[in-house]
Amino acid sequence: MTSESTMITSNKTARQIFEEVYANPTRAAFGFGEKLAIVNVDPQKAYTRPDLFPKTAYVTDPNQMNYINQISDLARKAGMPVVWTRVGYMENAADAGVWGTRTNTEDSLQNIKYGSVRHEFDDRLTIHPDLDAVYTKRMPSAFFETPLASFLVWHRVDTVVVTGGSTSGCVRATAVDSLSHGYRTIVPIECVADKHESYHFANLTDLHLKYADVVPVQTVIDWLVERVKG
């Protein structure tokens, strides 16, 4: 039995490691099943508008909102469900739990109040409340204490496409829970974002190796276009 660390060390950046892993796949893809759902995780102004909230918001791909709209629209046309989540809390933050105890500034998580600008979805998004499911969540995963799991079962979904942010936080938590619930899980690269490239690419690497298929958004678009054509 060895008493020395076997952890691999590297001077490469998280981006470089992701690009190497992505270029040399060692695991079979989960692939698409028969029916997917698009689960758009927290594309709300607190996280998408650095011009309004520079301490909490981030932009990775400037076209992220357009891509989310595109695949959500294609899913609707194919008769497949679209889900939107956002974080929000009571005025006194009594529902934020221990997650809301580490800091208490204007930008702190628990100060995303219902009905506030931080709580609003990004204006660039096209949401159809008559067709789409819209949920408030209070913890990282879109599955935790929301109707998402039963919604997906009812719609006989077998594949979950996760978009939104952050890659290292709520996207990752949702993807892990998606796999744990038995779903083929897809993360389109251009549709997820994070505050720092190190967090973003390190978590894309981990997701790709363990929990999801990390793919170009065009892969999702092409699959949906074929289903729309029938």
Model confidence over 170-214: pLDDT tens digits? 999 999 999 999 999 999 999 999 999 999 999 999 999 999 999
Share of the chain above pLDDT 70, in %: 100
Three-state SS at 54:
coil
Residue 2 lies in a domain: no
Residue 218 lies in a domain: yes
Q: How many domains does the chain have?
A: 1
Would you say residue 180 lies in a domain?
yes
Query: Which residues constitute the domain of residue 50?
Result: 30-229
Please indicate, yes or no, if residue 138 is contained in any of the structural domains.
yes
Give tens-digit pLDDT for 68-87. Answer: 999 999 999 999 999 999 99
Q: Which uninterrupted H or E stretch holds 152?
A: helix 148-154
pLDDT at site 28: 92
- Say if 50 falls within a structural domain: yes
Tell me if 133 is assigned to some domain: yes
Average pLDDT over residues 157-167: 98
Q: Report the pLDDT value the prediction gives residue 24, as an integer from 0 to 100.
A: 87
Respond yes or no: is residue 191 known to be catalytic: no
Give the pLDDT band of residue 25 (cuts 50, 70, 90).
Answer: confident
Nearest to 65 by CA among 22, 19, 11, 124: 124
**Dihedral (CA of 199, 144, 84, 188) sign:** positive
Q: Quick check: 2 pLDDT over 80?
A: no
- In a domain? residue 19: no
CATH number, domain of 68, equals 3.40.50.850
The percent of residues above 90 in pLDDT, for the chain, comes to 95
Q: Mean pLDDT in the chain?
A: 96
96 with 138: CB under 8 angstroms? Answer: yes
Q: Is residue 198 part of a domain?
A: yes
Dihedral sign (CA 196, 198, 201, 203): negative
Distance of alpha carbon 190 from alpha carbon 163, whole angstroms: 9
pLDDT at 27: 84
As a whole number, mean pLDDT of residues 35-59 equals: 98
Q: Which helix (H) or strand (E) holds 165?
A: strand 159-165
- C-alpha separations of 212 from 44, 54, 124 in Å: 24, 30, 27
| Active-site entry in 170, 191, 193, 207 | 170
* pLDDT confidence of residue 26: 83
Distance separating alpha carbons of residues 102 and 148, to the nearest angstrom: 28
Distance CA 13, CA 30 (A): 27
Task: Specify whether the CB–CB gap between 177 and 145 falls below 8 A.
Answer: no
Q: Are 170 and 40 in contact (CB under 8 A)?
A: no
